[in-house]
Structure 1
Amino acid sequence: MTTDRKIFKEFLNPGAAYTPIPFWFWNDQLDKKLLRQQIEGFQEKGVEGFVLHPRLGIPKDIEYLSDTFMEFVAFAVKEAHQRKMRVMLYDEAMYPSGAANGKVVELNPRFASRGLHATVYEEVQFPFSIKLEEDERIVAIFVLDKKEKEYDPGNILCIYPEQNNDSYTILNKQHGIQIESSEHHLMKNKQIIVLSEDYTNGTIRGIHYGQDDGEKYAPRSADLLNPEAVKAFIQLTHERYKEVVGEYFGNTIVAMFTDEPDITGRNSKPGYLAWTEGFEHELINEGYRYNDLLSLFFDSANAEQVRQDYDRAINERMLASYYIPISEWCLENNLDLTGHPEKSDDIGLLKAFHIPGQDVVWRWVAPENDKGITGPHSTAGKCGADAARHFGRRRNMNEYLGVCGKENTWNLSAADMKWYTDWLAVRGVNLFCPHAFYYSIDGVERSHERPPDVGPNNVWWPYYRLFSDYMKRLSWLMTDSVNEAKIGILTLNNQLPWKMARYFFENQMEFNYVHEDLFLLNKVKVIGNILKIEQQQYEVIILDDMQLEQFNPRVATVLYNFISQGGKVYVISSTLPIKQLKQIHYLSYDQLEKMGPFSRFQQIQLESRSSNIRVSKVWKGKQYFYFIVNEGEEPFSGNIQFSKDIPTEAWDAWTGKRHSLEFSENKTNLHLGYRESIILTSTINEEAPLRLDDSTKEVHTLEVQLVPSRKDGYWQYSGLQDWQETDELTYYSGAINYMLHFQWQAKKADMVVLDLGSVYEIAEVHINNQLVGVKMWAPYEFSIPKQYLRDGENEIVVRITNNSAVAMDQQPQPSGLIGPVKVKVIAQEGDLSHEENISSE
């Protein structure tokens, strides 16, 4: 299979449709001139869109959704329109979504978030009065035995609303209820538990000072399970945007972004579960009794099942009351709904999204400590991507990098930003939403509100075009393509297991998450021994530490049909069940070491095993691509083997370069450095240069002399050292130029390489006033084109940029060019033996 000659050019310059679309924090006094300048700056760096995001720091005289505020919105949208850029509107001020900065509750106080809570009473004297808050409603009252561990739902007396016992009478009073009994007092081994529904006093983070978490004017969150409250939210927010900028819907304005709506709100009263008026009837209609509601708060034999069904019911109600109405409004108005739910594995809620999404924030996912492959947040990348695959959505989005600096500071290196981008792309994300570009960093209240700025106010901004081009190329690769995953991991709608996912990642086996709702929506088709969902075809289904009984019976019906036609279902668990179904294969985790039944699903075979190499094989039209990522902290080098679809060429999405591959018995050598990725494919070989093999070459080094300079912005010292060792640079973030000289006389070199040694953190290199390149992570090695060199003295200027955290956090850390600096000359053996001024390395 060979690609069309145009496809590499398309890959190099995919176009604005694949642009990153960052959050643009509007967080200060707005000025049209500055708005225009920033939009121009975005586009100059290859950023062809933005999410217009009101943020903490906007002054109170620019009230959210007011004429003044909307005038700035209209201006920014018009500026984007003139530049053919893309805009997403953010539906809140600030977050979580659904409150319209408190305007929903201002419109009707009964629209405030509500929750269910439990109160335990002991040593009660009758008649017993319970005072209720305004709009508080009793859901159920129980009399039961005290228990130290768990309750027995079958041995609980519900005295309200069922009133199954003549010993108790419930009387409604003006501000509460009164319980009367034939007994004078409650027996010592008994207690009364009251479940009541009340306002949670939850809030959101607002956009004006005084509106943040815990502050006096924090806006009240809305009851998102109440359809009337959501209608008010849409009327206040979405219709207001339509009124002002509706003419741009479907062209410049492409989507509405909803952000982690929280039913109870932030900082809600402790012990409250998501609820709304009359919600208990939805559980009762599902076959539960009032007694079972206690299991939401207290342990019992059926607590796990009750809580699972409660979660299902809440999410179904949330879909019906919030996500679907907003999704339908967007569809009617030529917009896509994008954004993400509150939790990292809420995959079932994504069916309402036209561009499913998730977020990766707070460094919950990170390069260190296996955070990329362990824990519930490690599923966030595939959550949105797999939802898109199975719902037939072309794009999926991830909001990432927010508070992802080390220790939640500005200390996010360009190398780590690259790691996060690769981490998402190899899992299938194809729309990158960097969090965030700050309109202003004036004052710590702005600069350190969910830092860092990953755009214009970061020291790496001069080089951001490298990142925007890279994101575009990866977005292009992962759009309109189908990954060749033959393994599906079965999941609930709100719980994505990660143990088997880790195993598959570490062994270069591709999988997708297949969630419960797909079966109930008839998205799953059994075709022979294949489970087909949209364009995905699975030969194996995995239950990771779960049992079929946890799922809707429809799931088991489909899977047994799949098994009967030759499909394979595995239950993999730390504790295997005593009762095992014959049709299903059972394995314990320690039986996976030999890889057994899954080895045939390896996309590539590594001669030297590496648990840090990730692979996604996708088909884009009739062309296949292997996207291979090094997620580890060390370089990888070794032979890789392909059993089929053998590639002939390597494409580097970061540099835009390509080279041919050399194979022997279906094997080729792969070298992936720290923070590197590569794309392998089969193409018309004549277009690609052959990579130089330096394994049999002779390597020599040239002497390099540091030249101190008194020019502004240049290194003035006679030796290389950490900036932190000089008083004036201890808290400096920015760039410094280093001038170096070397003598060139060798004529027969095949390659000349500049090795800068240790660098913190970005190096831009010029040779004789010619740009050689930019490196943002080790190894800091640059191939110097021989035509840039001249006989005699050659001048190197190295521009080093350190980390923004040094100045922004007043956090000293290694900075500068440390070296040692070498110029390496690589040539055929013997070619350099008679050259002068060359020393053997």
Structure 2
Amino acid sequence: MSLADELRTLRSEYMTAPFWFWNDVMDPQEVRRQIAEMSRQNIGGFFMHARMGRVTPYMSQEWMTAVKAAVDEARQRGMFAWIYDEDGWPSGFGGGAVNALGEEYLQQYATAEIIPCNGSVGPKLDRPKYIIAAYATGKKVNGFGDCHRLDPNDLPGSWSRLPATCRERLVVFRRELHNYRRHFSPEAWADGYVDVLNPKVTRAFIGKIYEAYRREIGKAFGGSVPGVFTDEPSYHELGWSEPVVRLPMSPVLEREFEKRYGAPLLDNLMTIAFGGPEAIRARWCFYSCLAHLFSHNYTRILAEWCQRHKMVFTGHYLLEEHPRCATHVIGDPMLHYYYQQYPGIDHLGKDLDLKDFWSSARVLVKQASSIAHQFDKPRVMCETFAGGGWHFGIREQKWMADWQYAMGLNLVCQHAFHYSLRGFRKRDYPPSLSFQQPWWPLSGDLGAHFARLGYLLTRGRRVVNVLVMHPIESFFATHEPGGYPWPNDPMNESLKKLVEYLLAHQIDFDFGNEALLKRHGRVDGAGIRLGSASYDAVIVPHSLTWRKSTLTMLRKFAAAGGRLYFVEPVPTHVEGQPTDAYGPLLEEAMSLGHWQAPEFRQCIADLVGPAARRACRVLGNDPRNLDIMVMHRRTEEQDIFFLTSGAKTEHTASIVFDVPGFPMQVDTVTGRLLPIPHTRENGECRIDPSFDFAKSYTICFKRSRRASLPTPETQVSQNTLCRPGDPLPYQIDRDNALILNRGELFIDGCSVGIMSTLDAEQALAQHGNGPQAFMRFTATSETRVSGAELLLETPENFEIKIDERVVPVPAQPLWFVDPCMKRVPIPGGLKPGENTIELHFRWRQGLEIEP
């Protein structure tokens, strides 16, 4: 089949699949209606996401009725209904069913308390049964100097026998159970998250949620129900201002730590928490152990269950975008991606890369796409656009998603499609990218673009020759658990710079994970092979420590003639212990210099560029060229390039391709192949494309004779040209609306002031249930408006008056924009001048006043 034939048909599996917020009463007919809306705009599936505002009880028979309706409608339309495995997030507590099983299922911490002491009199401790370790120390609370572990049951009697130098402070670690109310859920069981390090907990989660879905819709598994999304599980919450040092803890962790390292974990708590001479080694051991347990006892178990039932396991993990934060809460993101059939990430916000502490979006994407390339995983999922705002439209979606596709993602999960906008739901991480939007009828072309792009960027394999060793275990070794927000993190900044500069020079690369390199890596000639991928060049970034197995492999690679590069500062430890073993290796490797040096970016271009054997290069010194991202895939018949720019201003670039064949541009909206102007010189093909906001190019070089390619098509524009200042013809495609979201609030007849409806709810909440209230709005019109309607959520909760006249509410009102927004006809319409609209009600908690 020719490429033109392949592109003629849109395939649902390559379309987007949005987060569909199930956030109200789930009516099966409304479920089917909304799926039909998605289908018409080339949306290929959806994730059924239980969300704040949900009224239908989670996992109830009514819930399953709606699920079955969604699965059936998806099947009829050739779409895919994905399971979301939790009631809100983070995944694991099973809608309260798992954490209700008892304390042994709850997430635990070792929380430090520092108690000043009178040197001669020992303290008497409260809550002794929760104390798991106690240390006597000097004025400095760390592992330096005198520090003695105590038996808490011997206090205060043993205090006097301690050296005077360590009787200044007592540090007590108490076992603390997780207790954090999930604000998205009204049920009391929302207190307490679960121990994701414990396989018993994961299997209970499967029993309560996964098996329940299998009983109800298991016949569709692997068909119209392709897989499961897990959302932001973690072994620790970040805590935006940690008041104390709090370490993840579990009986499973204690056993595994001692098994691996031959020492009790509790003997090392002081050093892990507060530092000391052995802190680098202790912290490396601690977080390595956590990373292994979480990925092995949570992600692996769920992924294997999905595999057995012909399902795909995907989703994303908390704070995976920043290695320092990942260390604190999830360990090693790439180990999770290794087990997932479709590795998944979350790219929040409306910018490609935030210019602050969190700006590691390139690192985030490459972590997942590297695993997919190395272990033949066909798709990489990205939850994206959350918090973009209500103005986030078609162009913004394309601009951001194209950038993600260029780095290796190929399954977009839009955040989000809101089933309902009633009340506070409209403020739940907008936008809603669904039928509520005015641009929705025009979004089918965007869906077609994503579908064809997703198809093309799963053909063949990525062309990558460079491996960047991921320094996650150096983050383990240097992590101070009480140091949030960890400002001025040089290792993170240097990694970001390295990744940014490589991609700016069209040097594609994969990250190499140490744990996976040990399991699946080997030196192959003058290259390194990891899984099914091979590399001619290896870069060791700014780091502190590497495994013995990694050091051994790098030595073999360099001895075989492989190109090895180091970024300064160079490592000084092996598995957290100081060593001089890197000396001979550094002599054989090339230095890229210090990451803060002015010439660092140019060193990467000059030294790594030739080794990368780039098939695509952007010429010239325009700084906007550094924003051009390139994806190169190769099949048996052709080379496929996808190019996009993160810049928002128009500019023209000169780009050369060192591949055989003739270039054809793919129109991803229509599927047509179009010639693209080009020149050839010295075997290279040059094009000069113009980039602008959200503009991208998909170019295929087919290894065939020119005669077999399609001929240019002549296109005649159907647009009418208008001169500046001329009237522009237009037509309104939906009723015009005036938003009344500010009015005067009266409580028990007294004016409280003019305020927004949201502020009015907060003011009323201070009065408890019962007061009589009304809110007065005004609308001014220059002419009489017949046929005017008042749009109101839950009109049945109010007595409506317009100019003192009571307005009747229809028994079954029509809706506008969203089914929750009811049309109430205004008898006689609006008069010229000021019109007064009043909503009268008796206030009760839970009542919402919405425009």
Interval containing the TM-score (normalised by the shorter chain): 0.7 to 0.9
- Aligned with 2:251: secondary structure? coil
Matched, 1:607 2:619: yes
Structure 1 gap ranges (5+): 161-169, 694-699, 716-722, 732-802, 808-841
Distance 2:650 2:688 in 1: 13
Matched, 1:16 2:12: yes
Matched, 1:415 2:395: yes
Distance 1:205 1:516 in 2: 38
* 1:556-585: CA deviation from partner (whole Å, max 9, x where unpaired): 111211111111111112679897432222
Q: 2:549 aligns with which of 544, 547, 554?
A: 554
Distance 1:458 1:274, change over 3 A: farther
Distance 1:712 1:671 in 2: 33
Distance 2:472 2:689 in 1: 38
Q: Provide TM-score, normalisation by structure 1.
A: 0.74
Distance 2:238 2:558 in 1: 46
Matched, 1:255 2:227: yes
- Aligned with 2:501: secondary structure? helix
Q: 1:632 aligns with which of 647, 661, 680?
A: 647
Q: 1:432 aligns with which of 412, 416, 422?
A: 412
Matched, 1:82 2:81: no
Q: 2:439 aligns with which of 443, 460, 479?
A: 460
Distance 1:689 1:42 in 2: 35
Q: CA deviation at 1:291?
A: 4.5
- Alignment-derived partner of residue 513 in structure 1: 511
Q: CA deviation at 1:604?
A: 2.3
Distance 1:183 1:526 in 2: 57
Q: CA deviation at 1:413?
A: 3.2
Distance 1:218 1:566 in 2: 57
Matched, 1:320 2:296: yes
- Alignment-derived partner of residue 366 in structure 1: 352
* 1:799-832: CA deviation from partner (whole Å, max 9, x where unpaired): xxxx99xx9xxxxxxxxxxxxxxxxxxxxxxxxx
Q: 1:277 aligns with which of 225, 242, 251?
A: 251
Distance 1:218 1:328 in 2: 28
Letter in 2 for 1:673: D
- Alignment-derived partner of residue 237 in structure 1: 209
Letter in 1 for 2:74: A
Say which structure is richer in helix.
2
Distance 1:204 1:331, change over 3 A: farther
Q: CA deviation at 1:155?
A: 3.9
- Alignment-derived partner of residue 329 in structure 1: 305
Q: CA deviation at 1:545?
A: 0.9
Q: Is the 8 A contact 2:92 2:205 kept in 1?
A: yes
Distance 1:546 1:129, change over 3 A: same
- Alignment-derived partner of residue 300 in structure 1: 276
Structure 2 gap ranges (5+): 322-332, 476-491, 573-579, 742-816, 822-851
Distance 1:418 1:730, change over 3 A: farther
Matched, 1:538 2:535: yes
Q: CA deviation at 1:516?
A: 1.0
Distance 1:637 1:711 in 2: 35
Identical counterparts, % of pairs? 21
Distance 1:425 1:434, change over 3 A: same
Q: CA deviation at 1:245?
A: 1.0
Distance 1:184 1:293 in 2: 20
- Aligned with 1:682: secondary structure? strand
Letter in 2 for 1:280: E
Distance 1:713 1:484, change over 3 A: closer
Q: CA deviation at 1:440?
A: 0.5
* 1:141-196: CA deviation from partner (whole Å, max 9, x where unpaired): 21222227x532x7422224xxxxxxxxx428xxxx76543459976862121223
Letter in 1 for 2:695: E
- Aligned with 1:679: secondary structure? strand
Letter in 1 for 2:526: N
Aligned Cα RMSD in Å? 3.4
Distance 2:181 2:165 in 1: 41
- Alignment-derived partner of residue 528 in structure 1: 525
Q: CA deviation at 1:498?
A: 2.2
- Aligned with 2:523: secondary structure? strand
- Alignment-derived partner of residue 598 in structure 1: 608
Q: CA deviation at 1:503?
A: 0.5
- Alignment-derived partner of residue 788 in structure 1: none
Distance 2:205 2:394 in 1: 39
- Alignment-derived partner of residue 24 in structure 2: 28
Q: CA deviation at 1:358?
A: 0.8
Distance 1:265 1:558 in 2: 36
- Alignment-derived partner of residue 743 in structure 1: none
- Alignment-derived partner of residue 143 in structure 1: 136
Greater displacement, 238-247 / 6-15:
6-15
- Aligned with 2:172: secondary structure? strand
- Alignment-derived partner of residue 147 in structure 2: 156
Distance 2:663 2:224 in 1: 40
Q: 1:122 aligns with which of 104, 116, 119?
A: 116
Matched ranges for 1:759-798 at <5 A: none
Q: Is the 8 A contact 1:355 1:397 kept in 2?
A: yes
Distance 2:139 2:436 in 1: 60
Distance 1:219 1:567, change over 3 A: same
Q: Is the 8 A contact 1:570 1:586 kept in 2?
A: yes
Q: Is the 8 A contact 2:135 2:149 kept in 1?
A: yes
- Aligned with 1:628: secondary structure? strand
- Aligned with 2:443: secondary structure? helix
Distance 1:264 1:204, change over 3 A: farther
- Alignment-derived partner of residue 362 in structure 2: 378
Distance 1:596 1:158, change over 3 A: same
- Alignment-derived partner of residue 397 in structure 1: 381
Aligned residue-pair number: 680
- Alignment-derived partner of residue 336 in structure 2: 349
Greater displacement, 619-628 / 594-603:
594-603
Distance 2:700 2:455 in 1: 15
Distance 1:415 1:291 in 2: 56
Distance 1:96 1:561, change over 3 A: same
Matched ranges for 1:65-214 at <5 A: 65-124=59-118, 126=121, 128-132=123-127, 137-147=130-140, 150-152=142-144, 155-160=146-151, 170-171=152-153, 180-182=158-160, 190-206=168-184, 208=185, 210=186
- Aligned with 2:35: secondary structure? helix
- Aligned with 2:447: secondary structure? helix
Q: CA deviation at 1:703?
A: 4.6
Q: CA deviation at 1:77?
A: 1.3
Q: Is the 8 A contact 1:101 1:204 kept in 2?
A: no
Distance 1:226 1:115 in 2: 14
Greater displacement, 255-264 / 87-96:
255-264
Distance 1:664 1:201 in 2: 66
Matched ranges for 1:459-498 at <5 A: 459-492=438-471, 497-498=495-496
Distance 1:673 1:621 in 2: 32
